[in-house]
Amino acid sequence: MWLRRPNLSPRTVRNARKEAERFVLWLRAHGLSLRTTAYEDLLAYAAFLADPAPADDWIRAERYPRSDPRWRPFCGPLSPASQVQALTVLKGLFSWARAAQYLPTNPAKLLGSMRVVSNEAIERFLPPAAIAFMLLAAEHMPASTPSAALRRARARFLVQAFYLTAVRLSELAGADMRSVRCDDAGAWWLHVLGKGRRHGKVPVPAALLDEYRCYRLAYGLAAMPAPGDTVPLVLSSRGSLRRASHNAVAAAMKVIMRRAVQLANEHGQHEVAHRLGQASTHWLRHSSLTHQLDRGVPLKTVQLNGRHANIGTTGRYLHKEDATRHAETAAAITIVPLPAS
């Protein structure tokens, strides 16, 4: 009932369910329940999130299906921002349960407001060569069967769509063909439903528009959609015009990244391969925004492309290579000696 409210996005529901399950598992491990939870228990859980212990019971870096006995609730300790998110979810759960009179009290009310403000630069981005290896990996995927050919066409589209638009996985997976639209000036845009269910749009470069046409043709569709086309944007690889699930899209991107790691190593680009091995789909968003700034796109434009409410968030994507930074600083800062007397 708590997560069946109509204003919740699928992404919000997934994240909330994950955090609630983690908390319930922790309660059971300590002989507690939602009804018996006290404020002190929430403080103990908050400390636990920073270091889930014993690690063998709670942490596994590899991801397994929920039904697999090797599955664990955590991939590692949560960052301060993720800890705040987890506790915010629990505050919402307890608030709802108290309002619905399922619980006699709301201990989470005592937690107060929580917020993490980070000024640290975004470091989870890939070098341009890594993006090129990902596209190469997609292009080299087998296409010996109809379903394999569809997977290859979709893979090429996914790599370019995620990188060239900087959209989030949930935004692309939730879009329809009609989300790609042309304005009165002839410019193409991808319209998405983003965080907080806010509508936004991002430019569609010519290269992505060409790939979009090829992708549609591979699925037996016309090169461009009719107005109001409700066919899902990211399609299943099974030949039907059904929407690929969020998990299916994430899994498809993992396959591409694994192959890109192999290609990078084969080309002697071992550092690039290492970065690719660390990456997730969301890194393409970080990479896109970072590279836009590196290539001189104005900060305000990148803020609009990233759909950041605060330009300070966009500023975290500004990077300067250490060597360049060092040389520029060393050349500029010095102590000027006094004139000889």
The string of pLDDT tens digits covering residues 178-233 is 999 988 888 899 999 887 778 888 889 899 999 999 999 999 999 999 888 999 99
Contact between 225 and 231 (Cβ < 8 Å): yes
Contact 306, 292 (CB under 8 A): no
In this structure, are residues 288 and 164 in contact, taking their beta carbons and an 8 Å threshold? yes
Whether 76 shows a pLDDT value over 90: the answer reads: no
pLDDT at 118 over 80: no
CATH number of 10-111: 1.10.150.130
Q: Look at residue 338 in the predicted model and tell me its pLDDT.
A: 47
Q: What pLDDT is recorded for position 314?
A: 66
* Packed helices 282-294 and 299-306: angle between N→C axes, nearest 10 degrees: 160
CATH of 128-321, one of 1.10.240.10, 3.90.1150.110, 1.10.443.10, 1.10.1200.10: 1.10.443.10
The reported pLDDT for the residue numbered 119 is 47
- Residue 305 CA: distances (Å) to CA of 64, 68, 171, 269, 293: 34, 39, 13, 30, 11
- On the question of pLDDT at 120 being above 80, the answer is no
pLDDT of 82 = 86
Given a cut of 80, whether residue 239 has pLDDT beyond it is no
Segment 165-172 shows an average pLDDT of 91
* Beta strand pairing call for 199-203 and 180-182: unpaired
Residues 6+ apart with CB under 8 A from 194: 168, 171, 200, 307
Q: Find residue 201's DSSP bridge partners.
A: 191
pLDDT beyond 50 at 259? yes
Average pLDDT over residues 99-105: 90
Lowest-confidence range among 3-7, 27-31, 210-214, 283-287? 3-7
pLDDT in the model for residue 272: 93
Q: Tens of pLDDT along 221-238? A: 999 998 889 999 999 988
pLDDT mean across residues, the chain: 85
275: tokens are: 């970065």
Please state the domain extents for the chain: 10-111, 128-321
Q: Where are the alpha helices (DSSP H) in the chain?
A: 10-29, 39-50, 55-58, 80-99, 128-139, 146-165, 169-173, 206-218, 246-266, 270-278, 282-294, 299-306, 311-315, 322-332
pLDDT of residue 183: 87
C-beta of residue 272 within 8 angstroms of C-beta of residue 264: yes
Identity of the amino acid at 61: A
Over the stretch 294-333, which tens digit does the pLDDT of each residue have? 888 777 888 888 887 676 666 666 665 555 555 655 565 5
Residues contacting residue 315 through CB under 8 Å, at least 6 positions apart: 299
